[in-house]
Chains A and B, each alone.
Chain A
Amino acid sequence: MRAARGITSRAHPLWLAYILHRLSGLGLALFLPFHFWVLAMAMTDPARLDGFLAMTEAGMVKLAEFGLVFLLAVHMFGGLRLMAMEWLPWSASQKTLAAGTTAASFLIACLFFLKAV
């Protein structure tokens, strides 16, 4: 309860962006060793690699993959947002505009990919 109140008392957009960036980064860092280990099987044990890759068709694993892609995308855009905020001396309205444009262009890109797929 204490922790929940501690979070709600400072749950403004920038703080949420910070915690999302941190947790997505942590998640990616924990996943990477496993990712590398599986890929290295191409060299050590190709049959087992195919076994792992076949697993990616299962529902639960698909969900986890979606989660990873989400973590990667969110961490990258969060990071670009951070660097823009730190290094480009923009006014507040310019920042809102830039964020809006980025979101819109990302949406268009996603739509494009969905079509392409």
Chain B
Amino acid sequence: MLGLRLYMLQRITALLMAPLVLGHLAVMIYAIQGGLSAAEILGRTQGSILWFLFYGVFVVAVAIHGAIGLRVIAFEWGGMKGAVLNLFTWAVGIGLLTLGARAVWAVTFA
């Protein structure tokens, strides 16, 4: 169910995300000072290649990490297996990637 390759993918994406999560937490704590607004968020991120890369990498990693994590839960607790389980994993991964990429694009270059 979880072979070496998926295990390594899960750990590598986790290591990649650890500093990104810290950055995300720090930005959140900073950004909520005095309330949130669309203008404030966009003022920070729009047109910034750096934020695009930061959140772009974050979204790719989280799509992989989330898909593998939900795969394990669907198998162990939901009894899903075989082709259905593989389909579910891919659907979660592609779903998260699509939604995430759309959001990153929306706040940077759209």
Contact = CB atoms under 8 A, between A and B. Distances in A.
Asked if chains A and B are in direct contact (CB within 8 A), the reply is yes
Given A22-B73, A83-B14, A42 B25 contact: no
Contact of A53 (B37, B70, B102, B105): B37
B62 interface: yes
Contacts of B37: 50, 53
Interface string A33-61: 10111011111101001100110110000
B49 interface: no
Nearest to A22: B73
B81 interface: no
A56 B29 CA distance: 13
Given A39-B103, A40-B103, A76 B66 contact: no
A39 B101 CA distance: 11
Interface residues of B, number: 35
Contacts of B83: none
- Chain B interface main SS type: helix
Interface residues of A, number: 32
Contact of A69 (B11, B25, B36, B105): B25
A32 B42 contact: no
Contact of A42 (B17, B41, B92): B41
A117 interface: yes
Contacts of A39: 103, 106-107
Nearest to B102: A40
Given A29-B66, A32-B66, A76-B18, A43 B100 contact: no
28 contacts: A22-B73, A25-B66, A26-B69, A28-B66, A29-B66, A32-B66, A32-B100, A33-B96, A39-B103, A39-B106, A40-B99, A40-B103, A40-B106, A42-B38, A42-B42, A42-B106, A42-B107, A43-B102, A43-B105, A43-B110, A53-B37, A56-B32, A57-B35, A69-B25, A73-B25, A76-B18, A83-B15, A117-B33
Interface of A: 22, 25-26, 28-29, 32-33, 35-37, 39-44, 46, 49-50, 53-54, 56-57, 69, 72-73, 76, 79-80, 83, 113, 117
